[in-house]
Amino acid sequence: MKNDNMILKLDPHIHSSYSPDAISTPSEIIKKSKELNLDIIGISDHNTIEGSQLALKETKNDDELLVMPSIEISSKYGHILGFGIEEMVKRGLSAEETVDKIHELGGLAIVPHPYSYYRHGLFCKEKNKDLNIDGVETKNARFILGYSNYKGKKLAEEKNIAELGSSDAHYKNFIMDCYSEIDCEKDIDSVLKAIKKRKTKALGNGTSNIMLTKYFYKKHIKKEFK
């Protein structure tokens, strides 16, 4: 990557309590992201922009952390991130329609966990590999065994699109377990342009199965998280 701008740290795929399967509030996510010295985050909740909008308002005059508007959309055959958009996209549309709508709204279409069957990975069912997507997760922290990440990297190379690392955190302590380095300025337009130009690098070791097991035990068995 060229160093004309700055090499910043981005976690584009974090879930807040506005996702039905996550627990941390937007404020908790912002606080934890600053503790980790992240520069840019995307709160990408399932089929809602509420958490993203709250985070945008909270960081409106904040020079320390840039929040990118984002949403994780359930298309007909799998999930697609609408990165950089502040409007809802209807769920259940075809992948083509979803991608087109994201682009109409000025955002980028990023495919998370593209080959994970139990996480609605788009390319487990979607046969059209010629979709006009802008990037794909090649390091998703929830898949440390690597098959989905490995296949995602091959897809990114074949399509010549951006490779992204993300935590896919559903709890604040998992933020930045995987993340992206991005060569850009700290503003929304620059981030989007850098992804489009593939000025990204996927990094991180993933969330350990031990930590995930402890989290699920506390959440579902001990009911520690309300």
Q: Please give the residue that has the higher pLDDT: either 149 or 97.
A: 97
Give the percent of the chain with pLDDT over 90.
80
Do the domain assignments include residue 226? no
Do the domain assignments include residue 1? no
Do the domain assignments include residue 12? yes
Smallest Cα–Cα separation from 83: which of 171, 203, 182, 212?
182
Q: Please give the residue that has the higher pLDDT: either 126 or 223.
A: 126
Whole-number Cα distances in Å, 28 to 137, 173, 220: 24, 10, 20
Decide if pLDDT at 158 tops 80. yes
pLDDT of residue 226: 61
Decide if pLDDT at 222 tops 70. no
Q: What is the mean pLDDT of residues 28-52?
A: 98
Do the domain assignments include residue 26? yes
Decide if pLDDT at 4 tops 70. no
Domains: count for the chain: 1
pLDDT of residue 23: 94
Enumerate residues 6+ apart whose C-beta is below 8 A from 224. 218
Q: Using one digit for the tens of pLDDT, what is the confidence trace for 188-205? A: 999 999 999 999 999 998
Q: Which residues constitute the domain of residue 150?
A: 6-221
**Residue 181's CATH number:** 3.20.20.140
Do the domain assignments include residue 172? yes
Do the domain assignments include residue 124? yes
Decide if pLDDT at 221 tops 80. no
Do the domain assignments include residue 155? yes
Do the domain assignments include residue 204? yes
